[in-house]
Chains A and B, each alone.
Chain A
Amino acid sequence: MSDVMSNPGRGLQTQDARARRRHRAEVRFRAYGVMAIATGLILLVILLGTIVSNGTGAFRQAFVEIDVYLDPAKLDKKGNRDIADIKKVSTFGYAPLAQQALLAEIEARGIETPLRKAKEMKNLLSSSAAAQMRDLVIAQPEMIGQTVSFRLLASSRVDGYLKGRVMRENIAKDKNISVEQLDLTDALIQAGVITSGFNMAFITGSDASESRPEQAGIGVSMLGSLFMMVVVLVLSLPIGVAASIYLEEFAPKNRLTDLIEVNISNLAAVPSIVFGILGLAVFIQFAHLPQSAPLVGGLVLTLMTLPTVIISTRAALKAVPPSIRDAALGVGASKMQSVFHHVLPLAMPGILTGTILGLAQALGETAPLLLIGMVGYVATNYPGGLASGFLDPNSAMPAQIYEWAKRADPAFYERAWGGIMILLAFLLMMNIIAILLRRRFERRW
């Protein structure tokens, strides 16, 4: 100011060197900020783009639509339609029927192919196709002797061929598909026998063995994750909120509470696998809870989530202005009344957001589950009830994804990406719920 006044020749509209330098520094700093955000956005787009482009394949599946004659001579040799006898026929009894039906379909449509034997159709059909037929027959034995239209799973090679994963030039050493079979596949697609459709079974189904990726689904492990989240929510919210309220509002400030505080902060930074081995030692080896059970997984994840919940709850409680506590105490409310009537409702949005973010963190956690055995081949069907949901062996979404990514067949790799898409969808949903709850409670009076 005095500078300008002592130099009447320089007006306000001309910048001196100092101002220019300051101005340039500010512009530069803003540019760095924009660059940082742009980099972040580009990386995010690349990440999401990769996930979507790799994972969408999992949601489509090739099917073979054929009419199969359920030959009584093969399926019910005694002819008595006794369910016990029918069950004795394994999937090996059904597979030839499907293969013959496909061959008959090819001949009926006049498709030319060097493949003349039923056995040569094996690689086109999934090995679970026979299981599909057997399930139907066991459910409805009266179908034996009839010709039934089936929408059978195609093999993972045919499925991969439709998605561009399997190509003629790289199957030279592949025993599970040949060039002739791919030619035939082309013809069958033309004829409308092989079709591609939405793969509901991927979302609802269970894991499948290594040789039939086309059958694997994430549904059962999704349930496993759900049961774990129930355990985590039911335990970590009340324990975490109670601990935070005590520490923040009631506990005397002394060495002991300082120590507890430091330890809670440190626990939040402890690698999750440590909680896994703790869970293994305490819950499984000492308390003898069942292995691989969502109950144990939930307990371990609760341990992991608690520090997060406590830290965010305490931050939310701290953010409530002390004048509100004074006001309540001033009209003669007890400490507890002031906390429960005034402080807690005001801190609620923060507490809920923290808890849901803690849950989201727990949902994506894999490492501790490896140690308590909640990973591995769980191809069981859906749990029969609440108790079995908590206590029966199950997997969890991230553990299932990890399992698939480990397997050799590239078809499983595709499912792993698909699983990640579903997992991300869940995380997104939880974040949206957190935002909505926040809004709702903030408007409350």
Chain B
Amino acid sequence: MYDMNKQETAVTQKEIKFSARDVQVYYGDAHAIKDVSVELEDKTVTAFIGPSGCGKSSFLRCLNRMNDTIDICRVEGDIKLDGEDIYHKAVDPVQLRARVGMVFQKPNPFPKSIYDNVAYGPRIHGLARTKADLDEIVEKALRRGAIWDEVKDRLSAPGTGLSGGQQQRLCIARAVATEPEVLLMDEPCSALDPIATAQVEELIDELRKSYSLVIVTHSMQQAARVSQKTAFFHLGSLVEYGETAQIFTNPVDERTESYITGRIG
């Protein structure tokens, strides 16, 4: 399914999308993320792996400022998207989130029709002038989400009536409908069965052509299958970051090796 040697040479020329320097995250007094510096490449799938509570989800949520919704959360350090500091005072998190979409762990379609689920983002961002434009955007997003063929005859049916895997693909379609540049995925397959997981993974591989993707996962096999770059987090620190093939075959750090071989975690 995945040729590691070929990818290794391919990803090195890509430009940097996100660059983080000395990022610290505190929840109240708890220091959840310590000194994380990382550069995420464009048109690449980057996987964040690590044991539960290691801060990978917290760091992911820093990238589109979803942590802002948590009162006690404090973020320090620099995170730049295309060279712009996303925590700068002048940045509107709403605009940021339109450029950095997110897919969550549990499929969370709105309790509205399939069409409205996908159309919501374009509507609030004013991406469509006419109904026909909107129809087109919705169809394109659903095709990208690899769910168009399954739902094209029942666009007015409730999105919550779909199966778990379909719901998650609908959520991905909803996220891509606003034409983001980066797509963050927080354990997108943890609530899905193997078949639905395979569909979503295939989709991720497809989306890599147009977006930069960051995926948090608990499954190391998944990280190995879908990503080109992997970052290993442990106890709030970024332990190792590099080519996926290298991390899984020849890790530099001892902790990384212990984790991927199943000794810790």
| A contact residues vs B (CB 8 Å cutoff) | 252-253, 321, 323-334, 337, 341-342, 346, 445
Contact residue among A253, A321, A324, A334 (Cβ-Cβ distance under 8 Å from B71)? A253
- CB pair A332 B97 closer than 8 Å: yes
Q: Among the listed A252, A326, A341, A342, which residue makes an inter-chain contact with B104, where contact means beta carbons less than 8 Å apart?
A: A326
Residues B111 and A327 in contact, CB atoms below 8 Å apart: no
Q: Does B234 sit at the interface, judged by CB under 8 A?
A: no
Contact yes or no, B109 A327, CB < 8 A: yes
| Residues 113-139 of B contacting A (Cβ, < 8 Å) | 113, 120-121, 124-125
- Is the CB–CB distance between B94 and A334 below 8 Å? yes
Chain A residues within an 8 Å CB radius of B110: 324, 327-328, 342
B69-A327 in contact (CB<8A): no
Q: Would you call B108 and A326 a contact (CB within 8 A)?
A: yes
How far does the alpha carbon of A445 sit from the alpha carbon of B160 in the complex, in Å? 10
Which B residues lie within 8 Å of A341 (CB)? 120, 124
* Inter-chain pairs besides A330-B97, A332-B125, 12 sampled, C-beta below 8 Å: A321-B108, A323-B106, A324-B108, A326-B102, A326-B108, A327-B109, A327-B110, A331-B178, A332-B121, A332-B124, A342-B110, A445-B112
Chain B residue contacts of A445, Cβ below 8 A: 111-113, 158
Cα A341 to Cα B95 with chains together (Å): 18
Known: A323-B108, A346-B111. A331 touches B71 (CB 8 A): no
Q: Provide the bound-state CA to CA distance between A324 and B178, in Å.
A: 17
Least Cβ distance of A247 to chain B in Å? Answer: 13
With A331-B175, A445-B112 known as contacts, the answer to whether A252 contacts B71 (CB < 8 A) is: yes
Cα(A334)–Cα(B121), bound, Å? 11
Report A-chain residues with C-beta under 8 Å of the C-beta of B56: none
**Is A330's CB under 8 angstroms from B111's CB?**
no
Query: Closest Cβ of chain B: how far from A228's Cβ, in Å?
Result: 36
Complex contacts, B95 vs chain A, CB 8 Å: 332
Instruction: For the complex, give the distance between the alpha carbons of A333 and B177 in Å.
Output: 13
Contacts of B71 in A (CB 8 A): 252-253
CB distance from A45 to the nearest CB of B (A): 41
A337 touches B66 (CB 8 A): no
* Distance between Cα atoms of A341 and B112 in the complex (Å): 11
**What is the chain B residue whose CB lies nearest that of A342?**
B110
With a cutoff of 8 Å between Cβ atoms, the chain A residues found around residue B174 in the complex are 327, 331
Closest to A326 in B: B104
Closest to B103 in A: A330
Identify B94's interface contact among A253, A326, A332, A346, CB under 8 A. Answer: A332
Q: Within 8 Å CB of B113, what residues of A?
A: 445
Compute how far the CA of A327 lies from the CA of B124 in the bound complex, rounded to whole angstroms: 14
- Contact: A331 with B121, CB < 8 Å? yes
- Taking CB atoms, residues of chain A closer than 8 Å to B106 are 323
Closest to A444 in B: B111
- A215 CB → nearest B CB, Å: 56
**Contact indicator B66/A329 (Cβ below 8 Å):** yes
Closest 8 CB pairs of A and B: A332-B98, A323-B108, A331-B121, A330-B102, A332-B97, A327-B108, A334-B94, A253-B71
**Contact of B55 with A by CB under 8 A:** no
Across-interface contacts of A326 in B (CB, < 8 A): 66, 69, 102, 104, 108
Complex alpha-carbon distance, A327 and B174, angstroms: 9
Checking B101, B112, B125, B158 against A330 with a beta-carbon cut-off of 8 angstroms, the contacting residue is B101
Q: Tell me the bound Cα distance from A425 to B177 in angstroms.
A: 52
Residues in B neighbouring A330, C-beta threshold 8 A: 64, 66, 97, 101-104, 175
Report how far A332 CA is from B94 CA in the complex, Å.
5
Alpha-carbon distance between A337 and B123 when the two chains are bound, in angstroms: 12
| Contacting pair A333 B66 (CB below 8 A) | no
**Is the Cβ of A331 less than 8 Å from the Cβ of B104?**
no
- Give per-residue flags for B78-108: 1 if the beta carbon is below 8 A from chain A beta carbons, else 0: 0000000000000000110110011110101
Bound CA–CA A252/B73 (angstroms): 12
- Distance in angstroms from B141 CB to nearest chain A CB is 11
Q: Which residues of the partner chain A approach B103 to less than 8 Å between Cβ atoms? A: 330
Among residues 173 to 230 in chain B, which have CB atoms less than 8 Å away from a CB atom of chain A?
A: 174-175, 177-178
Q: Are B104 and A327 in contact (CB under 8 A)?
A: yes
Which residue from B104, B177, B178 sits with its C-beta under 8 Å from A323?
A: B104
Q: Which residues of B contact A337 (CB under 8 A)?
A: 124
Report how far A327 CA is from B109 CA in the complex, Å: 7
Q: For residue A251, which residue of chain B has the nearest CB?
A: B71
- Nearest A-chain residue to B109, judged by Cβ: A327
| B171 in the interface (beta carbon within 8 A) | yes
Smallest Cβ-Cβ distance to A334: which chain B residue = B94
Minimum distance in angstroms from A325 CB to a CB of chain B: 7
State A189–B203 Cα separation when bound (angstroms).
Answer: 90
Complex CA gap A253/B70 in Å reads 10
Min CB gap B112→A, angstroms: 6
Complexed CA–CA distance, A342 and B124 (Å): 13
Nearest CB in chain B to that of A252: its residue: B71
The distance in angstroms between the C-alpha atoms of A327 and B64, with both chains bound, is: 13
- The answer for the CA separation of A326 and B57 in the assembled complex, in Å, is 14
CB distance from B162 to the nearest CB of A (A): 14
Report the Cα distance A328→B123, complex, angstroms: 12
Q: Of all chain B residues, which has the CB nearest A331?
A: B121
Asked if B112 and A333 sit within 8 Å, CB to CB, the answer is no
Which residue of chain B lies nearest to A330 when distances are taken between CB atoms in the complex?
Answer: B102
Could you pull out 23 A-B pairs where Cβ atoms are within 8 angstroms? A321-B108, A323-B104, A324-B111, A326-B69, A327-B108, A328-B110, A329-B66, A329-B97, A331-B97, A331-B174, A331-B177, A331-B178, A332-B95, A332-B101, A332-B124, A333-B120, A333-B121, A334-B94, A341-B120, A341-B124, A342-B110, A445-B112, A445-B113
- On chain B, the residues within 8 Å of A342 by CB distance are 110
Question: Which B residues are CB-close (under 8 A) to A331?
Answer: 97-98, 101, 120-121, 124, 174-175, 177-178
Q: Which residue of B lies closest to A249 (CB)?
A: B69
User: Which residues of A have CB within 8 Å of B64?
Assistant: 330
The one of A323, A324, A325, A332 that contacts B69, using a Cβ cutoff of 8 Å? A325
Interface centre among A252, A253, A334 (most CB of B within 10 A): A334
Chain B residues within 8 Å of A325, by CB? 69
* Closest A residue by C-beta to B125: A332
Residues of chain A lying within 8 A (CB to CB) of residue B94: 332-334
Give the chain A neighbours of B101 by CB distance below 8 A. Answer: 330-332
Please name the residue on chain A nearest to B107 by beta carbon: A323
A177 and B81 alpha carbons, distance in the complex (Å): 97
**In the complex, how many angstroms separate the beta carbon of A301 from the nearest chain B beta carbon?**
35
How far is it, in angstroms, between the C-alpha of A215 and the C-alpha of B66 when the chains are bound?
A: 69
